[in-house]
Structure 1
Amino acid sequence: MEQGPAPAPAASTEAPPLSKRARKRAAREAQRLEEKRQKKEKNHAQARDREAAAAAAAAAADALLTDDQRAARDRKAQQARDERLRKRAAEDAEFEKKCASGCRIVIDCGFESLMTDREARSSSQQIMYCYGANRRAEAPARLLVVGLTGRQASALGNVSGVESWRGASVDARPLEDVFPDRSSLVYLTAESDTVLTEVDAATTYVIGGFVDRNRHKGATHAKALQLGVRTARLPIGDGDAIVLGKEASRVLAVNHVFELMVRAQSSDWAAAAECLPGRKKKPEE
């Protein structure tokens, strides 16, 4: 009896074993996460203890007061709260007025698929740093975050107060949908042949909300070209206004680019570059 061909062996569904280096890296990451969890739990426990002690002390002090004294204390506390709210409202109004006269800076978060979970969280943190820098700025900008979805949106959503950011807005739509007319856009990329000499309030500048540890070099520049958006690079390098250290990369974190742009609205580039971390700066001779 003629035999048919032997059946092919079933494909293995088991994942290939990790290398020794990968196992060590995974172990270090697991240890880091566990230490972070334990520290968080310890901090929460200490905070609960402080709150309980403060509540007990307040209750003991309250028991010694007369009704008139309690009423006077409550009125004073309410007046202080009202004054804080009034002062904060005035500060917010003044801040938004300043933002309206500045340039618009867009953070394009349309690169999430290229980032790891850790990189996506880092990107979200850098966006928060951008807002903090804008609040502190002498001449703040109008901040717009576009393409914010998925892990980045989730990370920012976990931060209390994001929904009430002043002088800033968030749009889940991609850059090309938010700006069908892209004639006023300039995408900031390190690969551009055009050097940005000054910050123009009438121009909308785009920063790639992208953290990738140099795995996808040129991704923002390629996107700008694909969308037909003009590009420019910051004046960083030999012969430019900003000179970095010899070992420093010209690729900066999102919040560093943002703060450079904001500061350059009210000062020269060299002064604006004071916001850069020490590891980026050229050593003094």
Structure 2
Amino acid sequence: MEMGTTTGKMKMSRRSRATKKMKEIMLKPSCPKINRRSKLADYCAAEDKEMKQARKQAKKDRKRAMHEAKAEGSTQEVRKRPRVSSDQEASGKEQPSCRIGGRGSRNRESFDQLRKDGQRVVIDLSFDDLMTEKEVRSLVTQLAHSYGTNRASGKPLDLYLTSVDKRTAEGLKKISGFDNWRCHVETRHFSEVFPKNEELQKDKVYCIGGIVDHNRLKGLTKQKADENGWDTAKLPLDGNIDLGESRKVLTVNHVCSILLKYHETGNWKESLKQAMPERKLK
């Protein structure tokens, strides 16, 4: 690692010398223009050759160090040794080791425990067939934002994605790290995940309609809930926040953020103020 740093310094100094030499050659009045260009090209070629040789030598030195470490049985230590500055080496401070399953593993376990105690929130994704390709992509983006906000919370929701199938499922699988999301991903409809006769630990399970329709299918989720005898509720926007001329239509991730903030604070006014997009506020 030290060798790489030294090589970087050598590169910088060579660039400085090259720039200075270029100016000297180009500004030298005694040299015809053609000769100046020829000299400059020769100088640059020599500099490139010198830099290549330095890089090649540095690579050889690294390989030699690896072979020596392997012979001593400490290859793993050399490969994973963190970069340290000369000041850190001089101070003699011990550097953190690179161990798999350290702080990240503990954070995941801690988060899983926190979300088990959180309010259960479902995003119903059973509207796949009703959306265009563009709307499905928009929904997948909103789901990623919803998950990210919840994952960063110190008091997360117990988040469920239900009816994950078809194009929505394909879109989610394209998200880097989706397989490691710390939430429930169900292919079943939420009515199967939470049967009516189940005794819930929490008072309610909040279900958000996972659909992007640009107002083409207005009232669809309410109609579906009424047909199945599911209780419905709306966010208490009136009296808690002034939206001015804005329409009271929110994206999936904004609704999820509002519920998360309320879960954290227990205050609707503060939750709406923090989670609502600025363009919606008066």
TM range (shorter): 0.5 to 0.7
When residues 75 and 147 of structure 1 are mapped into structure 2, their CA distance, relative to the original with a 3 A threshold, is closer
Shift of 1:232: 0.7
The CA RMSD measured in Å over matched residues stands at 2.7
When residues 213 and 63 of structure 1 are mapped into structure 2, their CA distance, relative to the original with a 3 A threshold, is same
Q: Distance in 2 between matches of 1:245 and 1:227?
A: 32
Q: Distance in 1 between matches of 2:56 and 2:114?
A: 45
Equivalent in the alignment of 1:36: none
Equivalent in the alignment of 2:91: none
Shift of 1:102: 0.8
Q: Decide whether the 8 Å contact of 1:176 with 1:227 is kept in 2.
A: no
Q: Distance in 1 between matches of 2:114 and 2:167?
A: 32
Equivalent in the alignment of 1:73: 78
- 1:117-196 matches, cutoff 5 A: 117-166=133-182, 168-181=183-196
Q: Distance in 2 between matches of 1:92 and 1:123?
A: 26
Q: Decide whether the 8 Å contact of 1:104 with 1:201 is kept in 2.
A: yes
1:82 aligned residue (99, 116, 125)? 99
When residues 69 and 172 of structure 1 are mapped into structure 2, their CA distance, relative to the original with a 3 A threshold, is same
Q: Which runs of 5+ in 1 are unaligned?
A: 1-56, 186-199
Equivalent in the alignment of 2:205: 204
Q: Distance in 2 between matches of 1:173 and 1:138?
A: 29
Secondary structure of the structure 1 residue equivalent to 2:264: coil
Aligned-pair identity in percent equals: 32
Shift of 1:116: 0.9
Q: Distance in 1 between matches of 2:60 and 2:78?
A: 13
Shift of 1:182: 6.6
Amino acid corresponding to residue 236 of structure 1 in structure 2:
L
Amino acid corresponding to residue 175 of structure 1 in structure 2:
F
Tell me if 1:104 matches 2:120.
yes
Q: Per-residue displacement from partner, 1:70-101 (whole Å, max 9, x unpaired)?
A: 83422536x74316x31000111111111111
When residues 95 and 69 of structure 1 are mapped into structure 2, their CA distance, relative to the original with a 3 A threshold, is same
Q: Decide whether the 8 Å contact of 1:245 with 1:279 is kept in 2.
A: no
Tell me if 1:221 matches 2:222.
yes
**TM, length-normalised to structure 2:** 0.66
**TM, length-normalised to structure 1:** 0.66
Q: Which has the higher helix share?
A: 2
Shift of 1:271: 2.1
Q: Distance in 1 between matches of 2:197 and 2:144?
A: 26
Q: Distance in 1 between matches of 2:56 and 2:255?
A: 50
Q: Which runs of 5+ in 2 are unaligned?
A: 1-53, 83-95
Q: Per-residue displacement from partner, 1:26-58 (whole Å, max 9, x unpaired)?
A: xxxxxxxxxxxxxxxxxxxxxxxxxxxxxxx99
Q: Decide whether the 8 Å contact of 2:80 with 2:98 is kept in 1.
A: no
